[in-house]
Amino acid sequence: MSTGARRARGAPGAQDALKTQTGPGGATEAASTPPSPPSRRALIGWLLSVTRPVLAPLVGSTLCRIAELLLGCAIMAIGAVAVVRTGAQAASGAPIGIPWDLAGQLALASLLKAALRYSEQFLGHFVAFKALELLRGEIFAALIPRAPRVMLEARSGDLLARATKDVDRIEVFFAHTFAPAVSAVVVPLSVVGVVGATTSWPVALTALIFLAGAIGAVPALGWRASLASSRGAVAERAGLTQHVTDSIQGMAEVVGYGRVDERLEEMGAIDRAIQTAGAPARRWTSLRRGGVQLLTLLGPAAMILVGADDVRAGAFSAAALAGGVAAVVRLAETARGVEEFAAALTTSFAAAERVWATAHSPIEVVDGQEELPRAGSHELVWEGVSYAYPDSPGLALEGASVRAAAGRWTCLVGVSGSGKTTMGQLALRFDDPAAGRILLDGVDIRDLRGDCLRREVALVSQSAHLFRASVLDNLRLAAPGASEEEVRRACQDAGIHDDIMALESGYGTMIGERGASLSGGQRQRLALARALLVQPGVVVLDEFTSHLDPALDARVRSRVRKRLAGTTVVEITHRLQWVGEADHVAVLDGGRVVEQGAPAALMSAGGELARLMARQA
Q: Tell me the CATH number of domain 52-359, given options 1.20.1560.10, 3.30.460.80, 3.40.50.300, 3.40.190.10.
A: 1.20.1560.10
The helix or strand, by DSSP H or E, that contains position 467, with its residue range, turns out to be none
Which residue has better confidence, 198 or 241?
Answer: 198
Which residue has better confidence, 549 or 15?
Answer: 549
Computed over every residue of the chain, the mean pLDDT equals 85
List residues bridging with 397 in a β-sheet: 387
DSSP letter assigned to residue 589: E
Query: What are the tens digits of pLDDT across the range 287-337?
Result: 999 999 999 999 999 999 999 999 999 899 999 999 999 999 999 888 888
Residues of the chain within CATH 1.20.1560.10 domain(s) are 52-359
Query: What are the tens digits of pLDDT across the range 517-555?
Result: 788 788 888 888 988 888 889 999 988 888 788 888 888
Residues of the chain within CATH 3.40.50.300 domain(s) are 380-616
Query: What are the tens digits of pLDDT across the range 167-196?
Result: 888 888 888 888 988 999 999 999 999 999
Query: What are the tens digits of pLDDT across the range 437-472?
Result: 999 999 999 999 888 888 889 888 877 778 888 889
pLDDT, position 23: 37
Mean pLDDT of the 218-228 span: 88
Which band of pLDDT confidence, cut at 50, 70 and 90, is reported for residue 140?
Answer: confident
Mean pLDDT of the 408-423 span: 90
pLDDT, position 152: 61
Q: How far is it, in rounded angstroms, from Cα 594 to Cα 608? A: 8
93-97, 363-367, 606-610: least confident range: 93-97
Homologous superfamily of 380-616 in CATH?
P-loop containing nucleotide triphosphate hydrolases (3.40.50.300)
Which band of pLDDT confidence, cut at 50, 70 and 90, is reported for residue 36?
Answer: confident
Inform me whether the pLDDT recorded for 24 exceeds 50. no
pLDDT, position 480: 86
Q: What is the pTM of this model?
A: 0.69
Query: What are the tens digits of pLDDT across the range 573-593?
Result: 888 888 888 999 999 998 999
Inform me whether the pLDDT recorded for 402 exceeds 90. yes
Mean pLDDT of the 482-496 span: 89
Which band of pLDDT confidence, cut at 50, 70 and 90, is reported for residue 30?
Answer: very low
CA separation, residue 236 to residues 205, 262, 282, 562 (Å): 46, 19, 16, 53
Which band of pLDDT confidence, cut at 50, 70 and 90, is reported for residue 139?
Answer: confident
Share of the chain above pLDDT 90, in %: 38
pLDDT, position 42: 92
Q: Which of 414, 350, 446 is nearest to 588 (CA)?
A: 414
The helix or strand, by DSSP H or E, that contains position 501, with its residue range, turns out to be helix 497-501
At CA 151, angle to CA 490 and CA 533, rounded to 5?
10
